[in-house]
Amino acid sequence: MVVGIMIQTEEFETVLWTRRGPVAEIRLNRPHRLNAVVEQLYKDVLSALDAAEADPDARVVTLTGEGRAFCVGADLKEHGKGERTAYDRRRYLELGNDVCQRIYEFPKPVIAAVNGYAAGAGAEMSISSDFIVMKASAQLWLPEISIGTHVGGGVTEILPRIVGLAKARELILTGTRIDGTEAHAIGLATRVFDDDSFDDGVREFAALIGSKAPISMRHAKENLNAAQRDYKSRLTTELNALLECMLTEDWQEGVDAFAEKRDPVFKGR
């Protein structure tokens, strides 16, 4: 038990959910299969995100993996059984899209803490997150084209916005693996940490994000992700967000804290 920090847990079949202070952690928990995706894992991630959204004390979510992998993509052992009907296959793929869309549109910031291999669906969930932080030794790649399938989760929309079209083409069409250092160099990873300092680094970064004003962050994320908006539309949505923020207690707290030369304590209202 960490003194002074509220710890809360939820139980799911394939993920671990824990909140410490403002940080809710969703940990993929199929380490015997390197956290490879099965239908239940997708369902559990969606349920864990629902729990994090419903918890007013959860300001930021970290998504990571148990063991030596983040997530190596689809569990090909399950695919290889050949027991899925065409409907089952489509439903499974739709679940993958649902998870990535939920992460991308989640009203609170999501940090993908890539602790090891992140391939296929694991890379897609990471790219859908607001931030990727990686171990220096972790590896991320998109192998779909190399095995005769296709990327999903909105990656062809999101990835070029992060790393540029040419680099996105390279990563998707060649399936090249990149480690944490290279991911940081091309702007895909926000932070990269030595393996020994990874856990501390993730906690510090999540705590930094979690200390900010929740309503302001929700509006900022929504505006940043709305790629379809033109400049004039964005001016309007930013103005509306600013006006709403100015009606909150947190806005007054920010003003008071600035005047009093102290750190603000936001309450999300």
pLDDT tens-digit readout, 46-92: 999 999 999 999 999 999 999 999 999 988 776 656 677 777 778 88
Instruction: Identify whether 144 is a catalytic site residue.
Output: yes
| 193: confidence class by pLDDT, cuts 50, 70, 90 | very high
**Given the residues 10, 25, 66, 144, the one annotated as active site:** 144
The mean per-residue pLDDT over the stretch 194-221 comes to 95
231-246 and 249-260 helices, crossing angle to 10°? 80
pLDDT (0 to 100) of residue 5: 59
The CA distance from 195 to 6, in Å, is 27
| 1: confidence class by pLDDT, cuts 50, 70, 90 | very low
Nearest to 16 by CA among 62, 84, 76: 62
Give residue-wise pLDDT tens across range 132-178: 999 999 999 999 999 999 999 999 999 999 999 999 999 999 999 99
Please write down the long-range contacts of 252-260, taking CB distance under 8 Å and 24 or more positions apart: 254/213
Give residue-wise pLDDT tens across range 222-245: 999 988 888 888 899 989 999 998
pLDDT (0 to 100) of residue 3: 40
Angle at 36 between CA 89 and CA 110, to 5 degrees: 100
The CA distance from 69 to 119, in Å, is 9
| 43: confidence class by pLDDT, cuts 50, 70, 90 | very high
pLDDT (0 to 100) of residue 88: 77
- Looking only at the bridges linking them, the beta strands covering 117-119 and 139-141 are parallel
Using the predicted structure, report yes or no on whether residue 250 has a pLDDT greater than 80.
Answer: yes
pLDDT (0 to 100) of residue 251: 87
| 2: confidence class by pLDDT, cuts 50, 70, 90 | very low
Using the predicted structure, report yes or no on whether residue 179 has a pLDDT greater than 80.
Answer: yes
86-105 and 121-128 helices, crossing angle to 10°? 30
**Given the residues 124, 170, 222, 238, the one annotated as active site:** 124
Structure-token pair, residue 225: 């992700």
pLDDT (0 to 100) of residue 81: 60
